[in-house]
Amino acid sequence: MSFPKKALRLILLLGSMAGTALAGPQKPVRPPNVIVIFADDLGYGDLSCYGHPTIRTPHLDRMAAEGMRFTQFYVAAPVCSPSRAALLTGRLPVRNGMAGKQKVVLFPYSAGGLPTGEITIAKALKVAGYTTGIVGKWHLGHLPEYLPANHGFDYYFGIPYSNDMIPARNKSYPPMPLYKDSKVVEENPDQRGLTKRYTDEAVAFIRKNKDKPFFLYYPNNFPHEPLLVSDAYKGKSKRGLYGDVVAELDWSVGQVLKTLKEQGLDKNTLVIFTSDNGPTIQDVHRESGGSAGLLYEGKKTTYEGGMRVPAIAWWPGTVPASRTCEAVATTMDLFPTILNLAKARLPQDRELDGVDIYPVLTGKADKASDVVFYYNQTDLYAIRKGPWKIHFITRSSTGKEAGVVQDPPLLYQLEVDPSERFNVSKDNPAVVEELRKLYADHTRTVKPVPLQFDRMIENHAR
Ligand code: MG
């Protein structure tokens, strides 16, 4: 038996009205928990679900199978500090001051840090009623005023910068501190135990805060070199020590997801896994650096290998499973996306560089913004719009030379040529013109701010 369409629609309408009347006032829906896991220097080609032939990452592969794997996901800078600042603020480093003319990141003798006037995801979510925690590498200023407690985090366990900034590497560096909240609880911790300790802290944070909305930012220090791993993973990977370290990181992600399932939080938690920049591929690092897969170059460059990173989104029931997403997206998109999910207010008094990618995450849209700005320190080196990428300046990660101005600029069609092999600028003068105009329009929106990386602690030997 079949109803005429109009009658069916009427029955459905009446039914839904009755449902509303019976249900009474709606219970407030609890906003989702959010976890961002950030690897350090993990390349686009370093996971098995991104094609690595001998590194095994079963937990991340399962996360991708249960969620969405991005193939065109970017960071805002090809090195640690500015990339992290952009993720947490949704703003380019040239806007939040996390850049330098001399220095590319913060060091143990730096006097600067993320300005406290910046609004981080943690700060915005705390106002919206979230409990906020960070476990791992901060690298946004180690002096007291810049520590996580002053950027909206209720809880901190970790080290304030990179794992190679240790006295064993540079005698002028102080002992590397391990923080619990704003107190140093240990110096020069044994890094072989770091991933295990971070995992325990992350799991404990989730368990402790399961009854109210939380935001957990988990930037692990690895696989940044020096590579250190616990005995349980040492010598296990065919890829060598680098593979061992990635396998332990993979285990750690698995523990986080397992905890969410055990606590019944999986259906109400968005988890994002990604990396802060591309792999170190300089000769000096030899086998201790990762792989950008089919992408050209690596860390410290604005080629794809430096700034396109693996990224997986997981939220069972909301993010569709087994989905490969080709939409262009960046870490700066997480700021508006997460704030909107938390019903937090988006700041209106500053330029934001991300867009809300919730429609992409839920599979309802296949595109958000398709523009990427590739900065190296304070200079805009390249721009992507749609499939086109133009390089105005290039710099290799292996040479020490400053940037080389490309005039005429280089143009690549990334959907056809992701490895940036064939310069097609001569054949596409209209595209070059359009991207030149975009360069001019964009740079007009960037106002000069104090640069944090070039400020040093006075009289510090280095
Ligand atoms: Mg890094």
Per-residue confidence (pLDDT) for residue 402, from 0 to 100: 79
* pLDDT < 70 stretches in the chain: 1-28, 399-401, 459-462
CA of 80 to the centre of ligand 1 (A): 4
**Domains of the chain, CATH where assigned:** 33-369 (3.40.720.10), 373-443 (3.30.1120.10)
Per-residue confidence (pLDDT) for residue 283, from 0 to 100: 72
Nearest to 162, CA basis, from 152, 151, 149, 177: 177
Per-residue confidence (pLDDT) for residue 460, from 0 to 100: 66
CA of 228 to the centre of ligand 1 (A): 16
CA of 270 to the centre of ligand 1 (A): 23
CA of 79 to the centre of ligand 1 (A): 5
CA of 155 to the centre of ligand 1 (A): 23
CA of 409 to the centre of ligand 1 (A): 28
CA of 245 to the centre of ligand 1 (A): 15
Q: Where are the alpha helices (DSSP H) in 281-428?
A: 304-307, 334-341, 358-361
Per-residue confidence (pLDDT) for residue 325, from 0 to 100: 98
Residue 264: count other Cβ atoms within 10 Å of its Cβ. Answer: 9
Question: Which residues are designated catalytic?
Answer: 80, 139
CA of 135 to the centre of ligand 1 (A): 16
Per-residue confidence (pLDDT) for residue 167, from 0 to 100: 95
What is the Cα–Cα distance from 191 to 388, expressed in whole angstroms? 42
Structure tokens at 312: 């997986």
**In this structure, which amino acid lies at residue 42?**
L
Per-residue confidence (pLDDT) for residue 401, from 0 to 100: 67
Query: Are the C-beta atoms of residues 312 and 60 closer than 8 Å to each other?
Result: yes
CA of 223 to the centre of ligand 1 (A): 9
CA of 358 to the centre of ligand 1 (A): 26
Q: Helix 241-262 vs helix 58-65: angle between axes, to the nearest 10 degrees?
A: 50
- What Rg, from alpha-carbon coordinates, does the chain have? 23
What is the Cα–Cα distance from 367 to 359, expressed in whole angstroms? 8
CA of 62 to the centre of ligand 1 (A): 24
CA of 218 to the centre of ligand 1 (A): 14
What is the Cα–Cα distance from 115 to 257, expressed in whole angstroms? 33
Helices then strands (H, E): number in the chain? 11, 15
Q: What is the pTM of this model?
A: 0.93
What is the Cα–Cα distance from 334 to 315, expressed in whole angstroms? 14
pLDDT digits (tens, 9 = 90+) for 357-407: 999 999 999 999 999 999 999 999 999 999 999 999 999 987 666 799 999
pLDDT digits (tens, 9 = 90+) for 228-271: 999 999 999 999 999 999 999 999 999 999 999 999 999 999 99
pLDDT digits (tens, 9 = 90+) for 150-174: 999 999 999 999 999 999 999 999 9
Q: In this structure, what is the dihedral angle of CA atoms 77, 285, 164, 277, given to the nearest 10 degrees?
A: 20
CA of 38 to the centre of ligand 1 (A): 9
What is the Cα–Cα distance from 453 to 101, expressed in whole angstroms? 8
Return the DSSP state at 404.
Answer: E
